[in-house]
Structure 1
């Protein structure tokens, strides 16, 4: 009979430990994923900014030397990510492929212009920078027109600021929730041992002696939970890197390593502090209050 009761108690204890580990792992995993988002938010925003195209249309009278000089100056400019020359013939072929019709059959000639499509570096995709670049390039007589979607640029920059602000707010809120959830799980685990704590105290054990095994066990659970969370984060990061290779998520090795270490340390710290506070609370309780 005693053996059956002991097995029941052991199963109950293991079940309690597993639930604590799962709670810690899930909370740290979600917190880590949010951390990955924060770390890579600028890179994601920069990726979308660099999709904005500034098209420089050239006069038909533009000389080959002038065009080549312009291409070289654009390639060397600080604001250029890449520049692609598109001849009027290539533009006509592209439009034909897009519409499925040859518009030159109707107009009798090719009205399109030779152009250069410029993708700017993310830091230069602002209304002020684009205006300055446009004014500088417009001084060249052989450039007929420069076009870009200014409304899109303004909308994109406004949205990036809003998203960054809310991501920071959510990160802070999520960190607080993570601490509270893990603390709650640890307190429940310690609560089930409150009579053992009081018994040890009554036979003369010091508070530090009583706390030590509880803290060590909680730290072990925190380490296991953190390792599970880190494994999940690694899988998510690997999947995202394969799905969106252009973002080069794995190039931020220092920040990612720092995040992984931070999550691991956080798992240990929260469990240590939560267990210390929980055991201290029951150590200070009177025996009569243990039943409430």
Structure 2
């Protein structure tokens, strides 16, 4: 592969990585968790692709992996390039992998957030150094490429962002059908009352708030085991109430535990409606 094509591939990859990271960062705290997850996987995949491109490229070409040094390796090649590249790749890789792990190991989430914030500062430092070295000559090219990649990531991730809403609507539609002919719609106010109600069925679980706290958007903790529980509010955890089987399984278990009875279809829909409003 010629050096010219290697450089083109490197610029395209750079734009894809930058666009993916930006989408992942700005969707982290919004009701677009699916897009955040998609773009996070995009970043990790881009870093793995970078390693493969290094194997495909020529030994000393643009696609070769940077090797940090303390001295100039040749005239005109600033050693800061290699150090920045290694720090950025390592920082983003660790942030991305920790994000994947956080989906399965809840206590890793704080670490992931810290690494993501650190990665942002690395990105800003990288942009500042590039602007300083080239005096703005390449900044416009970088912005053009990153903007195109950003648009591509958003377009690819948008269906995933709305998939959770569609799945949740399907769950509620099922409960609406079960509610019977007199059903007049779900109520978030009734759902709130159910969530905050105090019951005598179990002294250890007097209310939903016993484990989930009074704020559904906050992380909860199991009253007996101390195990961390992800937020039940949809705004903080968009994956909630999207799997019919899991939703029904949890309602069956938790209604018996807290209320000492089976919840009606209307109560289940009300509960979900309240969590969607939080």
| TM-score, scaled to structure 2 | 0.29
Flag the structure with higher strand content: 1
For normalisation by structure 1, the TM-score amounts to 0.28
Pick the structure with more helix per residue: 1
Higher relative contact order (CA 8 A, sep 6+): 1
Structure with higher Rg: it is: 1
